[in-house]
C-alpha cells in the first residue's frame, strides 16, 4: 500500500467572545514572535555575517519570555509560537533554494491571521475539538464528515478579512487512492470568452463572478472611502467590502473545484499552457477579467489532484503558437488578432474554431513531449526541405 496523502479539511466555526479574544491574542503573539525572529536573523547576517537557524531563534524566544516587556507571550499556548519559527525556517529554506523571495515582516492589517497547533496542543474527540488554554470546545459547523477513524495531526485556526473564523484539520486520508488508468487525454485552452475549451470541442462558459457583484462592490468601496479613518463606521464598511470579495472568491473556487475534479476523473493525461498571469495582468483592458478567471488557481488545483489520483499534467511552453497553427496540416499563420474567432487555413482549407484548434494543438504538443521528449514548438518545412519557425515565435528562446 502506498503512502497516504495528507489532506486539509477546512470548516467554519463560531467562537464565543472569550475564545475570540484568546485567538486574537494568539494571532498577535504569533505575528510578534515571527517578526522578532526575522529581525534577529536578518541583523545577524547583515551585521556579523552569522547564519541563525531555528534552534537559535527558539532559544532566543525562551529568553525573551522571561523579560517584562514580552511576558505577555506566556498568556498563550507555546506551540503556535514554536510553529511560526518553523514556518520562518521554511521561508528561508525556500528563499535559499530560489523558490521564493526573501521573507517579509507580518503586518496586523495585511497579513493572514492564523495560528497552528500540533497534536500536543489540542484535544480531539469525534466531532469535538478543544484547543490548549481553552475551557470549551470550538463550535464547528461540520459541513462534511471527516473520513472515519482518522485523527488530525495539526490544526490551523484562522480569521479572514471578512471576520469569518475557520479551522483546518490536516489528516492522512486513506480514501485518496490512484484511480484506474484511463485511455483518454485532453488538451485545455484557457480563455475569457469561454473559460475553458477542451480538445474534444467542449466549451465551459466563463461565469464572470466579479462582474455579477461589480455594482455592489463599487457601492461598498465608495461607502468605505467616505468613512473617516480609524472610526468604527470605517471598520464596518471595510468588512462589507471584504464580504463581497469573499463571496466572489468562494463562488470562483467552487466552480474551479468542480471542473478540475471532473477532468482528473475522466482523463489520464491533461495538457495545459504555461501562462504567466502576473505578466498578463499588465494589460489594463484585460487585467480585471484575467484576475477574475482564476487561471493560476485552476492549474494548482489540477496539479495536486492529478498527483493524488495518479494522473499526469503536462505543461506546454508559453510561447507555443497554439492559436496560429493549423491542427490539420501544421501550417503556421503569420498573424492571428484576438478578434478573429474563426479562421480558414490557407494551405489545406480547413476551417477552425480558434479555441478548439488551440486546444487540439496543445494536446498534440503535450503528447509529443510525453511519448518521445520532443519539443513543443512545431516545425514548418519550406519547399527546399529546411525546417523554419517564424522569428516572432522564436525571439525569446534562450
Q: How far apart are CA 8 and CA 131, in angstroms?
A: 18
What separation in angstroms does the CA of 316 have from each of 35, 360, 398?
40, 12, 16
Contact 155, 117 (CB under 8 A): yes
What DSSP character marks residue 74?
G
Paired residues of 271 in beta bridges: 187, 314
What separation in angstroms does the CA of 226 have from each of 163, 236, 342?
21, 12, 48
For helices 54-65 and 17-48, give the axis angle rounded to 10 degrees: 120
Q: How far apart are CA 166 and CA 117, in angstroms?
A: 14
Catalytic residue among 22, 189, 210, 292: 189
Q: Let me know if 55 is a catalytic residue.
A: no
Which of 119, 121, 117, 137 has its CA nearest to residue 129?
137
Which of 257, 265, 276, 292 has its CA nearest to residue 144?
257
Catalytic residue among 22, 116, 210, 273: 273
Contact 249, 239 (CB under 8 A): no
DSSP reduced 3-state for 307: helix
201: left (phi over 0), alpha (psi -120 to 50) or beta: left
Q: Let me know if 355 is a catalytic residue.
A: yes
Q: What is the CA radius of gyration of the chain?
A: 26
Pairing verdict, β 269-273 and 312-316: parallel
Q: How far apart are CA 71 and CA 13, in angstroms?
A: 30
Q: Let me know if 292 is a catalytic residue.
A: no
Catalytic residue among 22, 210, 292, 355: 355
Q: How far apart are CA 96 and CA 115, in angstroms?
A: 25
Contact 155, 122 (CB under 8 A): yes
Pairing verdict, β 203-205 and 194-198: antiparallel
Q: How far apart are CA 264 and CA 272, in angstroms?
A: 13
Show which residues are catalytic.
189, 273, 355
Amino acid at each position: 500500500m502506498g503512502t497516504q496523502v495528507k489532506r486539509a479539511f477546512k470548516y467554519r466555526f463560531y467562537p464565543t467572545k472569550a475564545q475570540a479574544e484568546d485567538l486574537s491574542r494568539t494571532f498577535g503573539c504569533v505575528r510578534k514572535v515571527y517578526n522578532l525572529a526575522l529581525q534577529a536573523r536578518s541583523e545577524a547576517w547583515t551585521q556579523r555575517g552569522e547564519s541563525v537557524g531555528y534552534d537559535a531563534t527558539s532559544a532566543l524566544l525562551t529568553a525573551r519570555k522571561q523579560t517584562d516587556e514580552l511576558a505577555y507571550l506566556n498568556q498563550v499556548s507555546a506551540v503556535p509560537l514554536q510553529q511560526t519559527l518553523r514556518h520562518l525556517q521554511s521561508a528561508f529554506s525556500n528563499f535559499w533554494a530560489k523558490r521564493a523571495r526573501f521573507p517579509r515582516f507580518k503586518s496586523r492589517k495585511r497579513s493572514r491571521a492564523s495560528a497552528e497547533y500540533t497534536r500536543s496542543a489540542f484535544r480531539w474527540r469525534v466531532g469535538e475539538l478543544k484547543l490548549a488554554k481553552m475551557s470549551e470546545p470550538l463550535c464547528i459547523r461540520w459541513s462534511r464528515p471527516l473520513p472515519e477513524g482518522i485523527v488530525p495531526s495539526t490544526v490551523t485556526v484562522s480569521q479572514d478579512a471578512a471576520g469569518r473564523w475557520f479551522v483546518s484539520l490536516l489528516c492522512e486520508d486513506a480514501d485518496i487512492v490512484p484511480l484506474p488508468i484511463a485511455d483518454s487525454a485532453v488538451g485545455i485552452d484557457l480563455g475569457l470568452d469561454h473559460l475553458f475549451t477542451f480538445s474534444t470541442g467542449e466549451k465551459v462558459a466563463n461565469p464572470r463572478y466579479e462582474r455579477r457583484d461589480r455594482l455592489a462592490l463599487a457601492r461598498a468601496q465608495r461607502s468605505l472611502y467616505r468613512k473617516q479613518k480609524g472610526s468604527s463606521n470605517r471598520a464596518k464598511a471595510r468588512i462589507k467590502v471584504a464580504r463581497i470579495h469573499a463571496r466572489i472568491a468562494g463562488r470562483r473556487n467552487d466552480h474551479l473545484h468542480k471542473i478540475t475534479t471532473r477532468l482528473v476523473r475522466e482523463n489520464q493525461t491533461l495538457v495545459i499552457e504555461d501562462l504567466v498571469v502576473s505578466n498578463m495582468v499588465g494589460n489594463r483592458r484585460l487585467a480585471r477579467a484575467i484576475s477574475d478567471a482564476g487561471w493560476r488557481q485552476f492549474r494548482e488545483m489540477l496539479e495536486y489532484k492529478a498527483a493524488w489520483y495518479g494522473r499526469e499534467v503536462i505543461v506546454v511552453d508559453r510561447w507555443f503558437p497554439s492559436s496560429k497553427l493549423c491542427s490539420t496540416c501544421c501550417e503556421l499563420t503569420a498573424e492571428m488578432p484576438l478578434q478573429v474567432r474563426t479562421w480558414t487555413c490557407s494551405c489545406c482549407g480547413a476551417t477552425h474554431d480558434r479555441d478548439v484548434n488551440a486546444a487540439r494543438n496543445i494536446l498534440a504538443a503535450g503528447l509529443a513531449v510525453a511519448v518521445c521528449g520532443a519539443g513543443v514548438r512545431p516545425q514548418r518545412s519550406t519547399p527546399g526541405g529546411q525546417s523554419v519557425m517564424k522569428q516572432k515565435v522564436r525571439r525569446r528562446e534562450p
